[in-house]
Structure formats: structure tokens, C-alpha cells
């Protein structure tokens, strides 16, 4: 199992999780690591595939408000959401700006989208005199004029953290598993994206089909490989950390430890397959996914990953059912 043990765990290709982690690090839950956030929000387990050409847009094509609200919910936060469509009427612009500013006034950056590039980012400061927001995403740390912020391409997206609730580790794990399993089984609510993307385990089949028909867009394909490979590294790490942390003696601790430990092994296999895929299809160059030899080799690796991830999901599914209704500690029949 040669998965990436030595990588930098403070960076991720999933900007939604990066932004959530960034915002959370200003709250009383700053102890949550990026690995925790990737795991508990389910982002480490996501796979959103464009079945036509493996488009570069697919990894961020999810109902952002819904997913981020649930992400924050899993971590024990209530939140606010703004997502009016462009062109945004002035009264709504003001409301969204007030939402951002009140969050910053409380000391927590607001999560937004497409500050400098079309990925999630954080607004961490404002200056009314200069009419500027201070923002950061994975590409840049800089300022955004209010007028530019108010004139988005598609929608004016902002999510802010409200209250921090004292969720127990049991609730956190159960909510996380719920999202992970629903996504893997293709049951996640997709809103306007319904039917355009294939999610979870079924995504592997769609992906292999694109390669088989030699339709993969080099650039987009490599980006999907990078995002999903990065996510699965975090998945394997999250699961083994959890298996280590649940070290108590009762039936819940024992079951979590066992199931998470088993799932971790399967996800480590997935991660290892993606290490090879990343070598073959580096982003942004992209390699040659239309080349018959490379395509067939990639399909083989994806088949291995799918088999391992299927077993991993089965463990997580079983654990999810257990977390909803613990078994008896002892059963004398």
C-alpha cells in the first residue's frame, strides 16, 4: 500500500473544504484539522463525474448552499446562506454585504465563491471607506471592490457561520456517515444538476465509459484525477485517525474502531490507485487519456479503485446503521 503518507495535509484540491476549514479555524472548534473537516463534511468521499467528457467543472458542480449548510451542520454549526441569481437587485446586494460584514464583525470570515477564480474562498475583512473586501482563495490573497463583488457571473454566493453547537463525537460521526453513504449510493439531492452528473460509486462506471469511448478531455480529466485522488488520500487518513481515536471499551467505541479500521484499509487501496493515475495524468498537462494503451491502463486502475471503494462503503454503511441504533452490549439468547 503505497498511498501518500508523506504529503502536505494542510492543502487540498477541494476548495469547499479548504474554505470551511479556514472559517472554522476562527471559531471555538479551531482544533478541527483539515483532515477532520474533509472527513466529517464528506468531501474526502465525494466523486461527481461528468459522463460526457470528464469536464473540469464537475468537482464543484453541486448545490453549494445545500452542501455547505450540511457540511457546517455536521461540524456543529448553524449557518446563514445567500445565493441570489445575477443580476442581483440592489436591496439583495445590501443584505448579502451586511451578512458578510456582520460575520467579520463577529470575528469569522464569510465563505464565498469565485473571488479570484471559480472556487470557494474566504472574505476576512472589509473597508467601507475604500469600498473593498479582503479575501483569499487558493489562487490569491487580495482585495475585491464592493462593486465587483456585487456583480457576480451567476450568483452571489455567501455562507456564514452562526452559532457553534456542542455536538458530541457520536452525532458528528453519524451525520458525516449519513452524507458519505448517501453520496456513495447516488442518493444526494442534486437540485438543478440532477441527471447531468454521476455521483459516488456509479461515478467510476461513468468515468471508465468516458475512457473506453476515448472522449476524455485531457485537461478536465487530469483535474478530476487530482481532486478525487487528493480527496481519497484524506479519506484514508481520516478513517485511520478515527479508528485510532475511538479507543474506549464500550460497544460503540469497539464497533467504530473496527469498521473505521477496515474501511481505512480499503480506502488506502483506492488512494494508492490514484497515486498511479496522478502520475499518468498530471494536472494541468493532462497526459493522454485518449491514447488506447493509457486509457486501458487507467480503466484497470479505476476497476481496482472501484472494487476497494465498494468494500469501504459497505463498512461505512454498516457503521452508519449501527450508529443509528447501537446493538446490545451483551446478548444472551
Of 20-28, 74-82, 265-273, 300-308, which segment contacts another protein by CB under 8 A?
20-28
Q: Which is nearer to another protein, 84 or 261 (CB)?
A: 84
128 lines the binding site for another protein (CB under 8 A): yes
Of 139, 140, 151, 292, the one binding another protein by CB under 8 A? 151
* Rg (the chain; Cα; Å): 20
Shortest separation between residue 128's beta carbon and another protein, angstroms: 5
Minimum distance, C-beta of residue 250 to another protein, in the bound complex (Å) = 37
Rounded to 10 degrees, what is the CA torsion of 64, 18, 307, 265? -140
SS (H, E, C) the chain: CCCCCCCCCCCCCCHHHHHHHHHHCCCCCCCCCHHHHHHHCCHHHCCEECCCCCCCCHHHCCCHHHHHHHHHHHCCEEEEEECCECCCCHHHHHHHHHHHHHHHHCCCCEEEECCCCCCEEEEEEEECCCCEEEEEECCEEEEEEHHHHCCCCCECCEEEEEEECCCCHHHHHHHHHHHHHHHHCCCCCCHHHCCCCEECHHHHHHHHHHHHCCCCCHHHHHHHHHHHHHHHHHHHHHHHHHHHHCCCCCHHHHHHHHHHHHHHHHHHHHHHHHHHHHHHCCCCCCCCCCCHHHHHHHHHHHHHHHHHHHHHHHHHHHHHHHHHCCCCCCCCC
Does position 84 interact with another protein (CB under 8 A)? The reply is no
Count of residues that bind another protein according to CB under 8 A: 35
Q: How far is the CB of 162 from another protein (least distance, A)?
A: 17
To another protein, the closest distance from the beta carbon of 237 in angstroms equals 17
Contacting range for another protein; rule: CB under 8 A; set: 134-142, 239-247, 268-276, 288-296: 134-142
The piece of 49-57, 128-136, 274-282, 287-295 that touches another protein (CB under 8 A) is: 128-136
Residue listed under C-alpha cell 474562498: 121
Smaller CB separation from another protein, 10 or 285: 10
Contacts of 98 (CB under 8 A, 6+ apart): none
- Map the footprint of another protein across residues 21-80, applying CB under 8 A: 22, 25-26
Q: C-beta of 22: minimal distance to another protein in Å?
A: 4
Q: Which of residues 98-127 bind another protein (CB under 8 A)?
A: 101, 104-105, 107-109, 122, 124-127
Does position 186 interact with another protein (CB under 8 A)? The reply is no
Smallest separation, CB 147 to another protein (Å): 5
Q: Considering only residues 5, 7, 11, 186, which one is a binding residue for another protein as defined by CB under 8 A?
A: 11
Contact status: 139 vs another protein (CB under 8 A): no
What φ, ψ does residue 85 adopt, rounded to 5°? -75, 150
The distance of closest approach from Cβ of residue 156 to another protein in the complex, given in angstroms and rounded to an integer, is 11
User: Which of 7, 87, 170, 245: binder of another protein (CB under 8 A)?
Assistant: 87
Q: Is 164 in the site for another protein (CB under 8 A)?
A: no
Task: Kindly state the smallest distance separating residue 158's Cβ from another protein, in Å.
Answer: 15
Backbone angles phi, psi at 116, to 5 degrees: -120, -35
- Told to check if 97 binds another protein by CB under 8 A, we report yes
131 part of the interface to another protein, by CB under 8 A:
yes
Residues forming beta bridges with residue 132, ordered by sequence position: 127, 145
User: Which residue's entry shows cell 480503466?
Assistant: 299
Chain residues in the site for another protein (CB under 8 A): 10-11, 18, 22, 25-26, 87-91, 93-94, 97, 101, 104-105, 107-109, 122, 124-129, 131, 134, 136, 141, 146-147, 150-151
Amino acid at each position: 500500500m503505497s498511498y501518500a503518507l508523506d504529503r502536505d495535509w494542510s492543502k487540498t484540491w477541494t476548495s469547499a473544504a479548504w474554505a470551511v476549514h479556514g472559517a472554522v479555524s476562527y471559531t471555538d472548534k479551531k482544533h478541527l484539522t483539515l483532515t477532520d473537516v474533509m472527513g466529517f463534511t464528506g468531501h474526502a468521499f465525494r466523486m461527481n463525474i461528468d459522463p460526457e467528457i470528464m469536464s473540469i467543472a464537475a468537482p464543484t458542480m453541486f448545490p453549494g448552499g445545500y452542501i455547505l449548510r450540511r457540511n457546517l451542520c455536521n461540524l456543529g454549526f448553524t449557518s446563514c446562506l445567500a445565493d441570489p441569481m445575477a443580476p442581483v437587485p440592489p436591496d439583495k446586494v445590501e443584505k448579502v454585504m451586511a451578512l458578510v460584514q456582520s460575520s467579520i464583525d463577529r470575528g469569522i470570515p464569510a465563505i464565498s465563491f469565485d473571488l479570484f477564480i471559480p472556487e470557494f474562498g474566504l472574505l476576512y475583512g472589509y473597508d467601507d471607506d475604500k469600498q473593498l473586501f479582503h479575501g483569499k482563495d487558493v489562487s490569491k490573497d487580495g482585495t475585491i471592490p464592493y462593486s465587483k463583488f456585487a456583480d457576480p457571473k451567476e450568483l452571489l454566493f455567501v455562507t456564514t457561520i452562526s452559532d457553534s453547537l456542542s455536538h458530541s463525537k457520536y452525532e458528528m460521526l453519524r451525520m458525516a456517515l449519513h452524507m458519505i453513504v448517501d453520496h456513495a449510493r447516488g442518493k444526494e439531492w442534486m437540485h438543478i444538476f440532477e441527471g447531468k452528473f454521476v455521483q459516488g460509486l456509479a461515478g467510476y462506471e461513468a468515468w471508465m465509459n468516458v475512457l473506453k469511448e476515448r472522449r476524455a478531455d485531457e485537461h478536465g480529466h487530469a483535474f478530476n484525477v487530482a481532486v478525487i485522488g487528493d480527496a481519497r488520500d484524506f479519506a484514508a487518513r481520516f478513517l485511520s485517525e478515527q479508528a485510532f481515536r475511538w479507543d474506549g471499551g464500550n460497544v460503540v467505541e469497539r464497533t467504530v474502531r473496527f469498521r473505521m479500521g477496515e474501511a481505512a484499509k480499503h480506502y488506502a487501496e483506492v488512494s494508492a490507485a490514484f497515486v498511479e493515475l496522478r502520475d499518468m495524468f498530471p494536472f494541468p498537462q493532462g497526459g493522454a487519456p485518449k491514447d488506447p494503451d493509457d486509457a486501458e491502463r487507467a480503466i484497470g486502475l479505476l476497476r481496482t479503485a472501484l472494487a476497494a471503494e465498494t468494500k469501504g462503503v459497505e463498512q461505512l454503511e454498516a457503521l452508519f446503521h449501527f450508529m443509528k441504533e447501537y446493538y446490545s452490549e451483551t446478548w444472551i439468547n
